[in-house]
Chain A
Amino acid sequence: EAGVAQSPRYKIIEKRQSVAFWCNPISGHATLYWYQQILGQGPKLLIQFQNNGVVDDSQLPKDRFSAERLKGVDSTLKIQPAKLEDSAVYLCASRSLQGWGETQYFGPGTRLLVL
């Protein structure tokens, strides 16, 4: 099966600019996650969707970050305006609800550098 797809792979912007990332999960996976991975740290959850609804966005900095999954398939994550500390890899993961359903599969990530 095809894996989780993300684009772009790399992005360099200046602070206060906006940026958007796209994720297409594994076909049929109802649950989608966005994680932020700062260099040298483990991934940290930003937001979780089930189908087109938000399950958990408690750790999403809502003053500058937004995310949507309008049709319950692909998703976009936006940062506006970006800050220097947003430099990180943004990972998308998806999970099936079938069976035990715990395993999350990660995309290749988008590496963001804010100058």
Chain B
Amino acid sequence: GENVEQHPSTLSVQEGDSAVIKCTYSDSASNYFPWYKQELGKRPQLIIDIRSNVGEKKDQRIAVTLNKTAKHFSLHITETQPEDSAVYFCAASKREDGNKLVFGAGTILRVKS
């Protein structure tokens, strides 16, 4: 089955700097890659997603890139703010599997002001 690896496990950046989190997946049939942000004690919230027919997607300070050949995708946050501090999870899914999400282990992002 699908396996998703996520790096780094923790990331500390200074406010205003950029943060990059990387994920690799094993199943070349996966075609949907969402990123969730989870604050302490809260539900995972979708922040951005990308489908396999697109190489890059941007939404204000957040962008995701996908390299299907290498089977990896990355989350980029620019101009980080203290409120970006949270745990970020990447995930992969495919229609043939009922779109069930296979998650990475998560990255704890700390933005220092």
Name A's B-contacting residues (CB within 8 A).
4, 31, 33, 35, 40-45, 48, 50, 55-56, 91, 93, 95, 100-109
Contacts and interface: CB of A to CB of B under 8 A. Distances in A.
A106 B105 contact: no
Given A95-B99, A102-B49, A42 B43 contact: no
B98 A55 contact: yes
B101 A43 contact: yes
B106 A42 contact: yes
B99 A56 contact: no
Given A42-B103, A42-B104, A44-B103, A31 B42 contact: no
Interface residues on chain B, size class: 20 to 34
A84 B98 CA distance: 30
Contacts of A4: 43
Interface string B29-50: 0001010100000111110010
B25 interface: no
Interface of B: 4, 6, 32, 34, 36, 42-46, 49, 51, 89, 91, 93, 95, 97-106
B100 A100 contact: no
Given A41-B106, A108-B43, A100 B91 contact: no
Contact of A42 (B46, B89, B98, B99): B89
B37 to A, nearest CB: 11
Nearest to A6: B43
Contact of A43 (B44, B49, B99): B44
